[in-house]
């Protein structure tokens, strides 16, 4: 897997894809930071880090763009997002393949991520005519109260490697229709996909004809660049996706200046398999939820509670799936599982499996799959049967590890389900309506996403995406999330000839 010819070709192909997407050749041929494809382990580009002075200048220009863009009628702002969606439709296959090359996703998952971008653009276009508030009954005669929503300002976006383009779109499509400008710092592990998105946006803006310059901007670099973004007082909202550790650093910096944050952090997601579950359907859902994207989704299923009455029939079938699932180069094979992003991810997985074994865990899979390049990190997904819900099981490891445990009563399973720090996504598999409703009730799953008879991953853009507890509390994408990108004003209009005070207060001069 991955001979020398393949590795030379992937670098050439990356340059060709970037050119097709409209990226200037100089942008991916810098001198600072090498970009390595996890598929072959080879360098596919080099980008320059944005200096602190450049960060401040870019943000200042983005603020200037906001001052113009906020006065453009919202439906017209929606037209720009519609044009962006059209560019994404035209370049879906090209951008999707670039994503697969840069972060190791299978071809269908790379394409699926671009489809998410298209979907959120469609959602945002419709939303551009629905940014409405309420009319509120006033207690005072001949007074009208109403709620108005206004553009907020510069929106900072910090995204992670595992969804290198969709997260930007979730935030940007909404921000643009809400009247905001966007400054994006992508993961330093996936800057080329960000360059492509920026190029497609500029194509859409050129067709639109009157979008202000610097409405969308890029920052390249690591934590230092991110810190410069989140501490800038001209950025009223920062949407940051990453680890809980990252969130603990970012949140205080934003709070210190009374900024707002949308935090999408860790997720130690779990599923519960009840005795009445359709085992065939459940097997498919669990397998994708736990092994898809090589376990590198924030919504990956990491824990599974199986009822004792079906454990001995269901778990062996699941173990078989782990033993036969195909692992390999997603560009040259039909493998369902691609590579881990880098050696750090592999080391974390290895250490977690060692800790689980010390706690009595029985591991199926987890071995490294060798290639002819020692800089690639392909692994077989690991299923670990645990006797106790403790130790490393309570921690998120961003790798394809599924801890499986037995339960007797649903209340017991829900208690274990909720006994972790994060609260992102969750699932129950059952045909019993009482079990399903208990799981969705206030005493059930404590996650921001709670599903019945589907897995933990694969959220649609129409719903609010995000979680509770150590997941950060943020929400992105659909529902009423647009309100996070705007500021609210309560207006009272007096059309009488008097000045009656609220609450019956009197004050006469």
* 274 in catalytic set: no
Residue at token pair 């290639």: 371
From 121, 178, 197, 298, the catalytic residue: 298
Q: What is the DSSP string of 151-196?
A: E--EEEEE--TTSTTHHHHHHHHHHHHHT-EEEEE--TT-HHHHHH
> What is the distance between the alpha carbons of residues 455 and 424, in angstroms, rounded to a whole number?
13
> What is the distance between the alpha carbons of residues 178 and 337, in angstroms, rounded to a whole number?
38
Helix 4-20 × helix 191-208 angle, to 10°? 20
> What is the distance between the alpha carbons of residues 6 and 421, in angstroms, rounded to a whole number?
42
Binning the chain into helix, strand and coil, the percentages to the nearest 5 are 45, 20, 35
From 102, 109, 116, 264, the catalytic residue: 264
Strand boundaries in 399-483, DSSP class E: 401-407, 422-423, 425-429, 449-452, 464-465, 468-469, 476-477
Q: Does residue 27 contact residue 318 with C-beta atoms inside 8 Å?
A: no
* 264 in catalytic set: yes
In this structure, the strands spanning 135-136 and 143-151 are: antiparallel
Q: Does residue 16 contact residue 315 with C-beta atoms inside 8 Å?
A: no
As annotated, the active-site residues are: 264, 298
């Amino acid at each position: 897997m991955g001979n020398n010819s393949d590795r030379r070709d992937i670098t050439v192909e990356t340059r060709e894809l970037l050119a097709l997407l409209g990226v200037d050749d100089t942008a991916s041929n810098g001198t600072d930071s090498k970009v390595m494809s996890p598929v072959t382990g080879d360098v596919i580009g080099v980008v320059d880090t944005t200096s602190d002075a450049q960060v401040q200048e870019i943000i200042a220009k983005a603020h200037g763009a906001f001052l113009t863009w906020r006065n453009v009628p919202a439906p017209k702002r929606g037209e720009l997002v519609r044009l962006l969606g059209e560019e994404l439709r035209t370049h879906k296959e090209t951008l999707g393949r670039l994503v697969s090359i840069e972060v190791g996703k299978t071809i269908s998952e790379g394409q699926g991520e671009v489809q998410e971008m298209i979907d959120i653009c469609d959602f945002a276009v419709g939303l551009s005519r629905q940014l409405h508030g309420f009319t509120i009954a006033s207690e005072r005669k001949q007074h009208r109260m109403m709620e108005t929503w206004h553009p907020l300002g510069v929106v900072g976006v910090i995204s992670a490697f595992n969804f290198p383009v969709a997260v930007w779109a979730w935030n940007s499509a909404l921000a643009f229709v809400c009247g905001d400008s966007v400054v994006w710092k992508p993961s330093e592990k996936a800057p080329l996909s960000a360059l492509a998105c920026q190029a497609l946006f500029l194509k859409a803006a050129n067709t639109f004809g009157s979008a202000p310059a610097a409405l969308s901007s890029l920052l390249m670099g690591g934590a230092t660049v991110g810190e410069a973004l989140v501490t800038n007082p001209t950025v009223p909202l920062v949407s940051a996706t990453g680890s809980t550790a990252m969130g603990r650093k970012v949140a205080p910096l934003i709070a210190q200046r009374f900024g707002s944050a949308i935090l999408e952090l860790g997720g130690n997601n779990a599923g519960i398999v009840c005795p009445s579950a359709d085992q065939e359907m459940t097997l498919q859902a669990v397998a994708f939820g736990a092994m898809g994207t090589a376990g590198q989704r924030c919504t990956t299923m990491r824990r599974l509670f199986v009822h004792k009455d079906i454990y001995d029939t269901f778990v062996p079938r699941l173990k078989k799936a782990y033993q036969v699932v195909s692992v390999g180069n997603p560009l040259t094979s039909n493998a369902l599982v691609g590579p881990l992003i880098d050696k750090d991810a592999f080391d974390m997985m290895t250490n977690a499996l060692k800790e689980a074994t010390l706690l009595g865990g029985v591991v199926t899979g987890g071995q490294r799959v060798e290639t002819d390049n020692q800089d690639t990190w392909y692994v077989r997904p690991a299923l670990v049967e645990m006797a106790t819900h403790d130790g490393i099981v309570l921690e998120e490891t961003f790798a394809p590890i599924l801890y499986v445990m037995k339960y007797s009563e649903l209340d017991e399973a829900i208690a274990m389900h909720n006994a972790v720090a994060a609260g992102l996504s969750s699932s129950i598999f059952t045909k019993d309506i009482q079990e399903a409703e208990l799981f969705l009730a206030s005493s059930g799953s404590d996650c921001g996403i709670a599903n019945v008879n589907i897995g933990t991953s694969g959220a649609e853009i129409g719903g609010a995406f995000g979680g509770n507890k150590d997941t950060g509390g943020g929400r992105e994408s659909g529902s009423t999330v647009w309100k996070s990108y705007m500021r609210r004003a309560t207006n009272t209009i007096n059309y009488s000839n008097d000045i009656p005070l609220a609450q019956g207060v009197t004050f006469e001069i």
